[in-house]
């Protein structure tokens, strides 16, 4: 069941990689680098806000339904009420901060797009709550269907609005907002098939959710800031074109994260339902195999990026290649973090992940402040790689000590396991082909 869920989730990620790559190419070919940089800010801001206001409730939903066996219907009804409240408060707070943000971290973003961004924040917040319940119920078929809808609809919308109708930045922003609303509606429909949708506030359940969720909240907040703080500092120090180049570099580097992300999506509910004595063994096996597959993707990016970037995005984006290459070692280290953090969260030990992320954030922020003014996007990439590596090393050290195992067991792949996984994939692909013929 676990390997099947990972396989289907990873297959979805592969389709998402292709879709997101084509989306990036369409945006780069139809918008100027400055407009592309603004789109990076538009597509980054809502997720950053969600990191601040979600309070760890999505992770708490998975933990409460999986480990504590709470009624998914009750958990969903309560979390939707909280999402509505938090979304409304977020819009009010952001409205008061609009002028300050547009002068600093969002410098270059036209003010007329602000109302549209305010639509995205509550929509994304409700969406992550709905999807967390699908994960908690281990309905990865519905979860992956919903995730695949986003790149498909965005690609179709951008192709029609920007390529066929030759629209500009305003059309691109409008398409992004419209697709977000459509996918939230789809999340309601898919989640409703698995769990009846209700709105019911439960004070005791809220207390339980926040007790677990606030630790996950700090962990995820610091982690998200690690991933995105460089974008805002680039926007503060440099022109939107530089943000666009760095956006391309990070989007391609993060292709290597599709495997650990896929594994993590399935691993957390799996560990939350597993016997405590089996958690470390499962984690070590998953970590070493995930690291091997992530390394293969990074090797491929190292080999083709010099040709791929200017060929796909245009000659102007050749400046994205150096930061991409610098980011890749850090991406490999962060793959370790992405797997191991699920182990600590499933045991309600998020404080360890928070420590690792905090060390990384301090290094990332300090180096960004020093290096971006001097080296531009290359400086941002150096800062990120140092921070990512620190996070992976710190979390690995804690895991090895608590699990009582050696580093080889957690990091070095075993040939027999890789062969077994490959044979499983071939068998299932053959089965899919036979079904298609019938």
Domain boundaries along the sequence of the chain: 2-430
pLDDT in tens, 200-231: 898 998 998 888 888 777 877 887 788 778 88
Residue tagged 């192709």 (tokens): 159
CA distances from 336 to 87, 360, 395, 408 (A): 33, 14, 8, 13
The answer on pLDDT for 359 being more than 70 is yes
Residue where the block lists tokens 């995730």:
147
From the list 383, 263, 395, the residue with the least C-alpha distance to 340 is 395
CA–CA gap between residue 256 and residue 331 (Å, rounded)? 7
What is the average pLDDT across 148-152? 92
Question: What's the pLDDT at 5?
Answer: 61
pLDDT tens, residue by residue, 80-105: 999 999 999 999 999 999 989 888 88
The distance from CA 147 to its chain's CA centroid, rounded to whole angstroms, is: 11
Distance from C-alpha of 192 to C-alpha of 352, rounded to nearest angstrom: 35
Task: Provide the pLDDT for residue 322.
Answer: 94
What pLDDT does residue 106 have? 85
CA distances from 65 to 7, 16, 404 (A): 23, 28, 29
Per-residue model confidence as pLDDT tens digits over 278-324: 889 889 988 998 898 899 889 999 998 989 899 888 888 999 999 99
- Confidence bin at 437 (pLDDT 50/70/90): very low
Q: How many other C-beta atoms can be found within 10 angstroms of the C-beta atom of residue 422?
A: 10
């Amino acid at each position: 069941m676990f390997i099947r869920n990972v396989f289907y989730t990873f297959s979805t990620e592969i389709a998402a990689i292709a879709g997101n790559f084509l989306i990036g190419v369409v945006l780069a070919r139809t918008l100027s680098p400055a407009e592309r940089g603004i789109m990076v800010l538009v597509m980054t801001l809502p997720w950053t806000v969600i990191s601040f206001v979600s309070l760890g409730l999505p992770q708490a939903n998975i933990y409460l339904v999986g480990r504590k066996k709470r009624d998914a219907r009750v958990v969903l009804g309560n979390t939707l009420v909280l999402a509505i409240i938090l979304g409304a408060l977020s819009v009010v707070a952001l409205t008061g901060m609009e002028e300050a943000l547009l002068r600093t971290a969002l410098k270059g973003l036209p003010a007329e797009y602000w109302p549209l961004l305010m639509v995205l924040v509550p929509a994304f917040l409700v969406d992550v709550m709905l999807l967390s319940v699908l994960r908690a119920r281990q309905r990865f078929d519905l979860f992956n269907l919903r995730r695949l809808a986003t790149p498909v609809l965005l690609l179709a919308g951008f192709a029609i609005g920007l390529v066929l109708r030759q629209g500009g930045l305003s059309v691109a922003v409008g398409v992004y907002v419209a697709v977000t609303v459509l996918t939230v509606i789809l999340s309601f429909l898919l989640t409703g098939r698995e769990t009846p949708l209700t709105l019911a506030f439960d004070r005791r359940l809220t207390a339980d959710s926040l007790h677990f969720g606030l630790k996950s909240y700090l962990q995820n907040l610091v982690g998200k800031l690690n991933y995105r703080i460089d974008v805002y500092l680039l926007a503060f120090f440099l022109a939107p074109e530089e943000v666009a180049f760095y956006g391309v570099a990070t989007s391609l580097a993060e292709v290597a994260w599709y495997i650990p992300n896929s594994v993590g999506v399935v691993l957390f509910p799996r560990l939350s339902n597993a016997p405590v004595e089996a958690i470390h063994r499962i984690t070590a096996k998953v970590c070493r195999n995930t690291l091997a597959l992530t390394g293969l993707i990074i090797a491929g990016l190292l080999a083709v990026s010099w040709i791929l970037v200017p060929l796909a995005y245009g000659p102007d984006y050749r400046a994205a290649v150096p930061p991409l290459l610098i980011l890749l070692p850090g991406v490999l280290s962060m793959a370790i973090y992405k797997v191991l953090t699920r182990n600590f969260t499933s045991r309600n030990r998020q404080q360890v992940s928070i420590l690792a992320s905090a060390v990384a954030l301090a290094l990332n922020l300090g180096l960004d402040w020093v290096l971006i003014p001097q080296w531009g996007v290359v400086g941002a990439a150096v800062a990120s790689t140092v921070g990512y590596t620190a996070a992976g090393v710190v979390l690995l050290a804690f895991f090895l000590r608590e699990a009582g195992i050696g580093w080889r067991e957690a990091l070095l792949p075993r040939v027999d396991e890789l062969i077994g996984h490959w044979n499983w994939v071939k068998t299932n692909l053959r089965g899919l082909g036979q079904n298609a013929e019938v």
